[in-house]
Chains A and B, each alone.
Chain A
Amino acid sequence: MRYLTEFHDPELARRLLDDIAATATRRWTLMEVCGGQTHSIIRHGLDQLLAEQVEFIHGPGCPVCVTPLEMIDRALAIAARPEVILCSFGDMLRVPGSASDLFTVRAHGGDVRVVYSPLDAVGLAEANPDRQVVFFAVGFETTAPAAAMAAVTARRRRLANFSMLVSHVLVPPAMRAVLGAPDNRVAAFLAAGHVCTVMGTAQYEPLVAAHQVPIVVTGFEPLDLLDGVRQAIGQLETGRAELVNAYPRAVRAEGNPAALAMLREVFTVCDRAWRGIGVIPSSGWRLAPDWADLDAQTRFDVAGLTVAESAHCHSGAVLQGRLRPPDCPAFGTRCTPRHPLGATMVSAEGACAAYYQYRRLTPAL
């Protein structure tokens, strides 16, 4: 399959692994930023194969995991209203709020629907003029353009019954926060390829310059990840710190101009709370003032709803790369995918879920 199976080729993987082993003189600490990369690394066992060359610290790039608790609670409150159809991506339905989750709201009669595209939510609004359709817009720069498109489409079609609960987050400010932490150990980043597909690569140049940290824009298939590691270690071993695009088949330096224009039109940058981490300045998008009429928070009066995070979950330390999931005292005992204490155990992209799903065997083999 073009663009898929050739990036799983075991022979090429072996050559990349040999190359990395020949280059590395020590074990380097790398952070893969995106949860999709974390999942792929653990699923294919790349961390096992690179155990002597790389310590992977799993970054905060799981959109479901970092969506703040109060946003989940706001979504739950909106979804429970009889006139509302709440739509979101499938993973969000199981994420625990402070007292419930969207599946439970649905079992109690709430109309909660999984959509694959925000435009499907606009379609639902058109088809159900007597209902209020709310799209719960979560995710990084990758999902935001489709949410912006939904807003533009809803306005063009004059749909008064469509609104959005927006909790978008931005990757570079989170990477800056990781680098700025006093106990930071990250020597190089594998930047999230699909974020760069939208945003381009220029925004990483200041980070490289200020922190002298190699940033390699990396894809998601096993060979993509191995090539990203190879280029990062190549820089580290020669004392270089550069921005490199190792995912050129999907990423151009200028990003996607049409998507960027739409994002600038619909959203405006704001401070954003990240679940388990806290508020990171200028790390989110909210609806721009011109689009405030689409804001579900004001339409349903939930903006004042705030809650504190449970003390039992250490997902903040996991998301910041300070705690490996299996080292968490709750991992696999009090906290499992069916009884998650935090979102990192819920989402398919969450680091804790990836370890739980694929790594329970390790001590036995």
Chain B
Amino acid sequence: MTAEIWSQVWQFTPTLLWAMLINVQLLLALIALGLVTGVVVALIEVYSPRPLAALALAYEWFFRGVPELVLLFLFYFGLTQMGMDISPFFAAVLALGFRSSGYQSQIFRGAIQSVPPGQLMAAHSLGMGTMKTIRYVILPQALRLSIPPWSNEFSAVFKDTTLAYGIGVVEIVRQARYISVRNFPLTLPVFILVAFMFLVLTYLGNWGLGRLEQRLHVPGLETHAKRGEAREL
């Protein structure tokens, strides 16, 4: 690859960065949805009566078992057929967000279960209700323990945002395709540039999460206990 080709690719960097902004927006929206839903599902799995817990497990099973692209199609075309006018971006947030919640709930469930059960009993003996105990005793520990496996999930779903182009979200891979079909010789360099952008951003994200883990570190609360299964990459 000659220097001339790279200088040609260079001029597309701003265009690609703008498109990457779409991926970042998708990431933030879907991971926030997955976080909230994931914590709720994990709590239901651990603390609620059988039938409800079974429902939560079924939810997790569904969203972890269906391929991402199929989920995207189900949410985008399926919701339209049910009469809801949903934008491709919003459909992608829902499909990928619920999917991520399936994986995140596993992380949180493992972390919640790694808090010794004696603490719940101790809190009860002090007169604290279960909800209060979860809020002030269990979650502060469990969420801290979840950060390392959660950063895995973060990296994985960030890259999954590129699938959204299948339903018409013009994100970075789609933008790279626009450039490559217009200039065949740039195909490989453009995708190398895209790969580089992802590397930098996932590195920054994981670095930030590492910092967060250090800041929130509580002496004595270590991750030697059974940790939630990290999602396989």
Partners in one complex: no
Residues of A within 8 A of B (CB): none
